[in-house]
Structures are given as C-alpha cells and as structure tokens.
Copies of this chain bind each other. A is one copy, B any other.
Amino acid sequence: MSICTLDELDTPALLLDRARLDANLARMREQAARLGVRLRPHVKSTKCIEIARRALPDGGGITVSTLLEAEYFFEHGYRDLFYAVGIAPQKLARVAALMARGARLLLATDQVEAARRIEQRGRELGLCFEVLIEIDCGDGRCGVAPHSDELLAVAGALSGGARLAGVFTHGGHSYDGRSPEAHAAVAEQERLAVVTAATRLRAAGHACDIVSLGSTPSVRHARDLAGVTEVRAGVYMVGDLFQCGVGSCAPDDLAISVLATVIGQYPQRGEIIVDAGALALSKDTSSMRFDDERNHGYGRVLMADGSAPPQALYVAHVSQEHGVLRSRDGAPDYARYPVGTRLRIEPNHACMTASAYDRYHVLGDDGFGIEAQWPRISGW
C-alpha cells in the first residue's frame, strides 16, 4: 500500500529503493557468512533505524561514526556499539552516560596520550572503558603500524580504567582500486595488519578479542579472513556512483537517488536546470575521478521511473539550490524535459548526499508508489 506517489512528493526528496536495499543487505550478509566473520554494519552511511534492522535481522553489533548515532541506535535497542573514530577525551562523559544506561560502547584510538587520558578518566568515574586500537594497513589516515612500538605502548596504557578490547583497521585505500583483485588485495593488507597486531598484543600478554577490518570494496571482495573476527562496511547498503565505479556494486544496485524537478531549459547552452543543487546532492566530486563514462559530474540523471534517458545526462554544475544538467551525447531532447518534469539523480557519495535529508521516501516494488517514510538523523 502506498502513502503517496512519486508525483506527489515535494522536491528535492531522497528516494530509497527497498528491493535494491534488501538485495544489497542480503549479499553482504552472505559474504560475511562465507568468510566466517561477524558483520558489524556501519550505520554512518544511512543513519536510519529501519535500515539497520533490515541489515541485521537477527540483531548484533553496529558501528557508528558519532556519539549521536550511538545514542540514537542505543535508544532503538542496539546495545553493542563501536564508535570507530578516535575518541576526543572531552567526549568520555557522554560515553560514560551511555554506558551507565547499559550500552557496550567500544572506543577507538591510536594515541598513547589518548589511551592514558581514557584510562585516567575511567578510574575517576569508576568505569572501565573498552578500547580498540586502530591499525594502519596502508591507508595512511589513522592508525599505528602493526609492527610498531606504539602499538604496545597504547595497549600498555589501557589497564585500570580502561581495557583493550581489540584492534581494527580501515582500508580506505581500497577506494583507489578498480577491480575485484585490487579490492581483495586491500582486504588481505587489512587482514595481515590486524592479525599481526593482534598476535603481537597477545604475545605481550594482552587479551585482544576483537579483530576488525573493513571498507565496502574490501569486504565485498575479500577472499579469506583467517584470524579476523568481524568486518565493518556501510555504504554497501545503498551503493553510489563512486562505489559502482570502483566495482563494489553494479549500476542496478544503487538504492538511493534524489528526486528533482526541471525548473528551466536553456537550449542556447545545451542545459537544463533542476531544483536539486549543492545542498540536495552535496559537493562530493568522487565520480569525477573517473576519466570515462563513469564520470557523472555531481550525479547521474535518470527518468522519474528510474530508467536511463535516451541521451546520458549528468549534473555538470551545482550552486546552492540549482543543478545544471548536460548531456555528453549532444543537446538534450528538450521535448522530453518540459518544466515540471521529474527526474532522479544518483549521487556520487551516498553518505554525503543523504546527510541533507531527514527521511527516506521508500519506493515499493512498482518503483512509483512511496510505501513508507523512514526517518534518519544528522548532526553530532
């Protein structure tokens, strides 16, 4: 039963294709099962309780990127949460408050100084914070090297008001890969980094229960994860043009898009303008990294029913509330796009685009009726 149709939505609006979402969720669950690891989905991409419940129909732990996510998902029944961003000491009071309500909230750091402050604060509060040490597997953003002295120094600081719960890594450099082989190679780098770190920690007398890795491309294409206990991935749930471009999903897997309306035609410039601009789509330019047909500017344009237009259209420019569409196949056929025409725009980066919206409009099986509105959160 539909609550309304696509035609009745105000634009811009965030659409979610439920059938594609469910297929993406099932595929990743199967992959985790095949690899023999727990899937701890990252809810940062979608920030939606309805999606989390579908991702984990049998329950389980989740990964969050903000304390607001931790609080929100805890209030909706998730008690096992990993906040996978290096903790700022000032946030420990909020962490403690959530723990006092019954949450298991795993923290992250890769800093000796932070570990000391976590431990000290735990003692002051009469708590034991659980911490995962971040390992750098080659991404070069965060993390200690698996063979480093720092690894043992961070672990050494975690006793008393804190406890070492495990190690984790994020192979963000999987985003540079363009093939299943490349992503599998990053997965193996991730695996080697965390297993090496865990082995060293255990040899030094530390418990190291959780051995975690993940990024959507690397988990999707991992071949063997011996020694790993759990994997994290988030954007696999809905996909986007960039994930499609790097080969971690197929074009028909993309589950979110922005519904927009044509507000002007500019034949003299070969352009069409819609009411979805920089705020509605984000200024993420990741598909522009591709030098071929995978470059869709700020987004790929589809007809309202999700079908591809006869000439490929892309979002060439954005300003705050304007999206400027162009075709690479000559001038658009303007007769197809009169003012008021509804179009769908697939985003470069789902996490960035979805963040502008407070809800998903969930498309049912006919691809036209909206069967639900699922709220999502933003902020910190």
Contact = CB atoms under 8 A, between A and B. Distances in A.
Interface of A: 7, 10-13, 44, 65-67, 85-91, 94, 109-111, 113-114, 117, 140-142, 172, 261-266, 269, 273, 275, 278-280, 282-285, 317, 319-322, 324, 338-340, 351-352, 355-358, 378-380
A280 B351 CA distance: 13
Given A111-B265, A380-B12, A320 B44 contact: yes
Nearest to A116: B339
Contact of A142 (B141, B262, B322): B322
B339 A89 contact: yes
Nearest to A170: B319
B10 A264 contact: no
Nearest to A45: B320
Contact of A261 (B67, B90, B285): B90
6 contacts: A12-B380, A114-B263, A140-B269, A142-B273, A282-B282, A320-B351
A142 B319 CA distance: 11
Contact of A355 (B261, B264, B356): B356
A141 B319 contact: yes
Nearest to A261: B88
A308 to B, nearest CB: 23
A376 to B, nearest CB: 12
A292 B145 CA distance: 35
A91 B321 CA distance: 14
A380 to B, nearest CB: 6
Contacts of A65: 320-321
Contacts of A339: 88-89, 111, 113-114, 117
Given A263-B88, A339-B113, A356-B379, A141 B11 contact: no
A380 B259 CA distance: 12
A320 B114 CA distance: 21
A12 B44 CA distance: 16
Most chain B CB neighbours (cut-off 10 Å) among A11, A266, A320, A351: A320
A263 B90 contact: no
Contacts of A262: 88
A34 to B, nearest CB: 28
Please list the 3 inter-chain residue pairs (A to B) with the smallest Cβ-Cβ separation, ordered nearest first: A86-B263, A88-B261, A283-B283
Contacts of A87: 263
Contact of A358 (B319, B340, B379): B379
Nearest to A358: B379
A300 to B, nearest CB: 18
Given A142-B322, A321-B65, A113 B380 contact: no
Contacts of A88: 11, 261-263, 275, 339-340
Given A10-B94, A88-B11, A94-B10, A352 B279 contact: yes
Nearest to A67: B10
